[in-house]
């Protein structure tokens, strides 16, 4: 019998025994998410929420709020830390300025495939969980985006073609790439990207095919270079006080549903990667690998930024990268 089925049956038995008091103890958690309801991260989060509600027999109900409708992307982590929201999903590398470990999945050209991403996360997740715990957060699960590529509204053969371009940044790594390339970094959340491109606030960015497809960026941009720079992760975490208040059975349900969501999200990201790139091309964008000159220059950026990250992340960061390279 599957664990999910066991949890469901156990929850049903508890509901029958305690039917007279179940309503008094039912708890609702609102879960802010930054990306559109149609994005696979949001869809996966909704399945996770339903799993928890079912596995706890309704004792804990999780309701997702995608598209930044409850809190904007940049507000979610703080809201969960402070207890304004009990649970939330956030692109953790956007907070690498708080702790470099949060940006381990965004070191350019360190882990450029799904297999490498899984290996890097295996090596680093323990340290990341400890860093989250220091900020009153309990890790639940994380799901990668497809490999990151560069979006422009013109052909780019090398870094010299990027000079002066207003480049959307969503974390420290993307801002640093802009600086190294002579571009102008502009901090913009995913929910605001379409408007920023339409108004000229941003002219280029680096992200997965998913973001470009979801935001229909072919309406403003023309080229996507599949540089496969890294695979950042969206991470779901719970306020530690809210977590500690759960029963052991409900903690187990959240943990098991989180493990299922992590596996399902990874599989979906793999499945959709080519679909997104095909969608960009079908809507008129030129989708291509970077030329040799551009690839070499970007690899140079990667070497510089890897060393900068190691210098800032200390012993924990070095141990994570060493463990990954030893796999």
Q: Any idea where the domains of the chain sit in the sequence?
A: 3-97+135-144+233-272, 149-230+275-326
Q: Does domain 149-230+275-326 have CATH number 3.40.190.170?
A: yes
**Domain 3-97+135-144+233-272 belongs to what topology?**
D-Maltodextrin-Binding Protein; domain 2 (3.40.190)
- Residue 238 backbone class (left: φ over 0; alpha: ψ -120 to 50; beta: rest): beta
- Separation in Å, CA 248 to CA 202, 244, 253, 255: 47, 9, 9, 10
In whole angstroms, what separates CA 100 from the centre of its chain?
Answer: 16
pLDDT digit string (tens) for 156-187? 999 999 999 999 999 999 999 999 999 999 99
How buried is residue 139: exposed, middle or buried, by Cβ count under 10 Å (0-12/13-18/19+)?
buried
Q: Let me know if the fold of 3-97+135-144+233-272 is the same as that of 149-230+275-326.
A: yes
Question: What is the DSSP secondary structure assignment for residue 216, as one 8-state letter?
Answer: T
User: How many other C-beta atoms lie within 10 A of the C-beta of residue 304?
Assistant: 13
Q: What is the pLDDT of residue 24?
A: 47
Question: Given pLDDT bands bounded at 50, 70 and 90, which one contains residue 11?
Answer: very low
In whole angstroms, what separates CA 29 from the centre of its chain?
Answer: 20
- Contact call for residues 301 and 180 (beta carbons, < 8 A): yes
For the residues 103-128, what does the mean pLDDT come to? 96
Encoded tokens for 136: 């009153």
Nearest of 61, 276, 26 to residue 151 by alpha carbon:
276
- Contact call for residues 111 and 145 (beta carbons, < 8 A): no
User: What is the SS3 assignment for 132?
Assistant: helix
Rg (CA), the chain: 21
pLDDT digit string (tens) for 50-86? 999 999 999 999 999 999 999 999 999 999 999 999 9
């Amino acid at each position: 019998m599957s664990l999910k089925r066991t949890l469901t049956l156990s929850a049903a038995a508890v509901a029958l025994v305690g039917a007279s008091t179940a309503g008094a103890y039912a708890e609702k958690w609102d879960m802010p998410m930054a990306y559109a309801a149609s994005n696979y991260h949001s869809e996966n989060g909704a399945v996770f929420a339903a799993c928890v509600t079912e596995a706890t027999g309704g004792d804990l109900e999780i309701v997702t709020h995608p598209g930044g409708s409850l809190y904007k992307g940049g507000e979610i982590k703080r809201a969960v830390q402070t207890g304004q929201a009990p649970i939330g999903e956030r692109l953790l590398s956007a907070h690498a300025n708080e702790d470099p470990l949060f940006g381990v999945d965004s070191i350019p050209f360190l882990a450029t495939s799904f297999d490498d991403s899984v290996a890097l996360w295996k090596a680093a997740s323990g340290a990341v969980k400890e860093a989250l715990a220091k900020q009153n957060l309990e890790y639940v699960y994380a799901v990668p985006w497809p490999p990151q590529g560069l979006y422009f509204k013109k052909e780019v053969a090398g870094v010299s073609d990027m000079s002066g371009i207003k480049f959307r940044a969503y974390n420290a790594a993307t801002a640093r790439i802009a600086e190294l390339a002579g571009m102008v970094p502009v901090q913009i959340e995913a929910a605001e990207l379409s408007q920023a491109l339409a108004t000229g606030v941003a002219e280029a960015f680096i992200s997965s095919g998913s973001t470009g497809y979801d935001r229909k960026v072919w309406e403003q941009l023309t080229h996507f270079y599949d540089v496969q720079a890294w695979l950042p992760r969206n991470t779901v975490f719970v306020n530690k006080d809210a977590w500690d208040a759960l029963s052991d059975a409900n903690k187990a349900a959240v943990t098991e549903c989180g493990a299922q969501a992590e596996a399902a999200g990874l599989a979906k990201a793999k499945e959709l990667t080519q679909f997104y790139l095909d969608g960009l091309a079908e809507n008129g964008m030129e989708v291509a690998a970077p030329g040799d000159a551009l690839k070499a220059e970007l690899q140079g950026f990667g070497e510089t930024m890897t060393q900068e990250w190691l210098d800032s992340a200390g012993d924990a960061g070095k141990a994570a990268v060493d463990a990954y390279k030893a796999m």
